[in-house]
Structure 1
Amino acid sequence: MTSKKLIVVFGATGECGSPLRGSSLEGSAPPGRVRLLAVLRSGSSCQLRIAGAEERSRALLHGWRGLMQGRRLADLSKRLGLQHVVYSGLENVKQLTKGRLEVLHFDGKGEVEEYFRTVNVPTTTIRLPFYYENFLSSFKPQKAPQGDKLLLGLPMGDTPMDGMAVEDLGPIVLSLLKSPEQYIGQVIGLSAGKLTVAEYAAAFSQQTGKTVEDSKITPEEYEKLGFPGAKELADMFRFYALKPDRNVELTMKLNPKARTFQQWLADNKAAF
C-alpha cells in the first residue's frame, strides 16, 4: 500500500497559511493519499520533528517574519531530509536597492529565502503580490473630505500594481507539490493582474455603484501620515513601482481559476 504524503503548513492561521488548510490542499488530492498537518505560529518545533519521522514527507513552509525562526525551519528541513519545501518569500528590498529602500516584512523573508538556498534544501519560492484582501481593511476606499466620492489611497501613480486574492493560493501550491521536478529551485512571482490605481478605482465604481477615484497620494505624502509603519509601506509601494517580477501567465497556469480583481470584487462587493 502506498503511504500517504504528508503536507505540513506552517503559520496555518496566517493570511497565507489559512487558504492552504482543508479543501485547498488535502481535499484537492486523491482520497487517502495526503495527510495535512497544520502548525500554528505558537507551535513548537517538535511538531516538525514528528512530521519528519515520515521520511517521504513534503512540507509547505509559510514565511514567518522572524529571521531566526525561518532559519531554524530551514535547518530542520535539511536535517529531516524533506523532499520539497514551498516557501512563501519576498525580495530583500534593502539589499536590492543598496539601502535606498527598507521594507522589513520583505527583507526578512528575502534573507530566509537565501538561507534555504545556502543549506541546499529542495525549495520552490513563491512571492505573492499585493493581496486583494487588503482592500477589505487597511486599503479600503475612504470618504473624501468633500463630496460623496470615495478615494483609493495607493501611492502608485500611473504604474500598474500586481495583485492577487490570497484565497486563491491553495491550488497554486498543490500544483507545485504535484510537479516538484519542474519547480524545485525556482522563484515564482505570482500575480492575477496588473492594474493602475485608476483602474482599481474604476472597478470599485463599477461594482459598488459609488464614485471611487485615485487619491493621487505620493509615497512622500504617504510616509508623512504618521501611523506606525507608514515609512515602511511607502517604501513597499516605491518598490512595487520598480515592477518586481510577477508572472500572470504562470500564475494562471498553476491555478486557472485564480480570480482577476474584477472577479474577486464581484464576489466581495457586499463588504463595501
Structure 2
Amino acid sequence: MSKLITVFGATGNQGGSVIRTILADPELSKEFRVRAVTRDLSKPKAKALAEKGVELIKGDMSSQEDVTKAVDGAHAVYLVTNFWESMSAKPEILQGKVVTDACKAAGVKHLIFSSLINAANATQGRLVNITHFDGKAEVEEYIRERGIPASFVMPGIFMSELFSFIRKQEDGSFMMAIPVSPGTIAPFIDASVDTGNFVRAALRHPPTEKANVIYAASDYYSFEQIAADFEAVIGTPLKVVPVPGDMFKGFLAASLPPDMVDEIYENLVMLEDPGYYAGADLSQSLELLSEKPVSVREFFEKNRKYWG
C-alpha cells in the first residue's frame, strides 16, 4: 500500500511544485499518495488538484485541530510557511510549531521543511531585520529540538523576483539597481518548477541519524552574469547599477512599508557578506537531483515575451 504525504501550501509556488513532481514521477507516484492542504477548496488550483486524484483537505496551519487532521496517518509531510502574507515572522513561527507538534504526535517519519539560515546569527548581529530568514530558522531549530526525522530544503532567491528587479527604461533598455557590487553572487531557483525537484531528492534520501540540509538553487549567479544571460536571450542590454544604500531604500519605500524596506535591503546586503547561504557549497545538493534544474538563462528563454 502506498504511503501518504501531506503537502501544506498546496496551491502555492513551492507546494504546487512538490505535488506536480510527485504525480509525474513514475516511482514516487506509486510510493506516495498525496493529501493537499489548502484554506480554500474552491480555488481553481485546488479543483485542478482534485481532478488529478489528489486528496484535498481544508486547513489553517494556525489551527491545531486542522493540522492534526491534516497529518493524521502521514508518513511524510512537506511544510512551507508564508511570511509574505502577513509580513511578520510571528504567524509563520506559530504555524511551523503547530505543524511540528502535530507531526511529532502523529509519528510522522519524515518532515520536510522549507527553511532558511539564521541571518542574525550568520552576521553576528549586524543584520537583524531579515525576519523571513530568521523566523524559518527558529522553526527549523524547533523541529530539531523535537527530534522529528527531518530534511531542510533551503530555496534560493526565486527567479520570478527578476520580474520586479529588472526595469525597462524609457529608451527601451533595461536596468537593475542593487545596493551591492555587480560581481556579488546569489543562488537562484525557479521555485514553481524546481522546488519539487529538490524535495524529490529529500524523499529519495531520507534522514538517518542527522537531519538533511539541501540547498535548493540551480547555481550561484553574479548580477553581471545575470545581465549577460539577459542580453544573450532578450537581445537588449541590461545595465546593473550599484546604488548607495539610502538611495536603494528610497526606491523600496515608494511601494513597501518601512519594516519591509529594511528587510529587503538587508537581505541583499547579506549577499556580499556572509552570503545567502553563508558560503555553503551547492555541489552535494545538486548531485542528489535526478533532473537538471532550470538555469537563469533558461528562465529568461521561458519568459522571453515578458521582456521582449
What TM-score, normalized by structure 1, do the two folds share? 0.88
**Residues 86 and 125 of structure 1 are in contact (CA less than 8 Å); yes or no, is this contact kept in structure 2?**
yes
Q: Which runs of 5 or more structure 2 residues have no equivalent in the other structure?
A: 41-58, 84-91
> How far apart are 1:26 and its partner, in Å?
2.6
Letter of the 1:160 counterpart: I
**For residues 28-64 of structure 1, what are the alpha-carbon distances to aligned partners after superposition, in whole Å with 9 as ceiling and x for unaligned?**
143543211111256235454335442x611111134
Please say if 1:120 is aligned against 2:147: yes
Alpha-carbon distance between aligned partners in 1 of 2:81 and 2:141, rounded to the nearest angstrom: 12
Partner of residue 286, structure 2: 252
Q: Which runs of 5 or more structure 1 residues have no equivalent in the other structure?
A: none
Please say if 1:267 is aligned against 2:302: yes
> How far apart are 1:131 and its partner, in Å?
1.0
Partner of residue 148, structure 1: 172
Please say if 1:135 is aligned against 2:162: yes
**For residues 107-154 of structure 1, what are the alpha-carbon distances to aligned partners after superposition, in whole Å with 9 as ceiling and x for unaligned?**
111110111011111111111111111112x22x21336x43210123
Query: Could you say if the C-alpha distance between residues 62 and 245 of structure 1 is closer, same or farther in structure 2, counting changes exceeding 3 Å?
Result: farther
Partner of residue 55, structure 2: none
Letter of the 2:16 counterpart: S
**For residues 186-214 of structure 1, what are the alpha-carbon distances to aligned partners after superposition, in whole Å with 9 as ceiling and x for unaligned?**
22222212222121111111111112110
Letter of the 1:36 counterpart: V
Query: Could you say if the C-alpha distance between residues 64 and 142 of structure 1 is closer, same or farther in structure 2, counting changes exceeding 3 Å?
Result: closer
What TM-score, normalized by structure 2, do the two folds share? 0.78
Letter of the 1:239 counterpart: M
Q: Secondary structure at the match of 1:26?
A: helix
**Residues 71 and 77 of structure 2 are in contact (CA less than 8 Å); yes or no, is this contact kept in structure 1?**
no
Alpha-carbon distance between aligned partners in 1 of 2:67 and 2:211, rounded to the nearest angstrom: 22
Alpha-carbon distance between aligned partners in 2 of 1:142 and 1:51, rounded to the nearest angstrom: 42
Q: Secondary structure at the match of 2:34?
A: strand
Partner of residue 113, structure 2: 87
> How far apart are 1:182 and its partner, in Å?
5.7
Alpha-carbon distance between aligned partners in 2 of 1:264 and 1:257, rounded to the nearest angstrom: 13
Alpha-carbon distance between aligned partners in 2 of 1:259 and 1:219, rounded to the nearest angstrom: 31
Alpha-carbon distance between aligned partners in 2 of 1:156 and 1:6, rounded to the nearest angstrom: 45
Letter of the 2:76 counterpart: R
Aligned match of 1:60 in 78, 85, 90? 78
Partner of residue 25, structure 1: 22
CA RMSD, Structure 1 to Structure 2 (Å): 2.2
**For residues 66-114 of structure 1, what are the alpha-carbon distances to aligned partners after superposition, in whole Å with 9 as ceiling and x for unaligned?**
1111111111111111000110001121233243212111111111011
Alpha-carbon distance between aligned partners in 2 of 1:80 and 1:250, rounded to the nearest angstrom: 31
Q: Secondary structure at the match of 2:243?
A: coil
> How far apart are 1:253 and its partner, in Å?
1.9
Letter of the 1:134 counterpart: E
Query: Could you say if the C-alpha distance between residues 233 and 154 of structure 1 is closer, same or farther in structure 2, counting changes exceeding 3 Å?
Result: same
Letter of the 2:172 counterpart: D
> How far apart are 1:269 and its partner, in Å?
1.3
**Percentage of matched positions with identical amino acids:** 24
Partner of residue 207, structure 1: 233
Letter of the 2:284 counterpart: L
Q: Secondary structure at the match of 1:17?
A: helix
Alpha-carbon distance between aligned partners in 2 of 1:52 and 1:27, rounded to the nearest angstrom: 23
**Residues 6 and 71 of structure 2 are in contact (CA less than 8 Å); yes or no, is this contact kept in structure 1?**
no
Aligned match of 1:16 in 14, 17, 37? 14
Please say if 1:165 is aligned against 2:190: yes
> How far apart are 1:184 and its partner, in Å?
5.3
> How far apart are 1:17 and its partner, in Å?
1.6
> How far apart are 1:13 and its partner, in Å?
2.3
Partner of residue 268, structure 2: 237
Alpha-carbon distance between aligned partners in 2 of 1:17 and 1:213, rounded to the nearest angstrom: 34
Aligned match of 1:186 in 212, 216, 226? 212
Alpha-carbon distance between aligned partners in 2 of 1:36 and 1:245, rounded to the nearest angstrom: 35
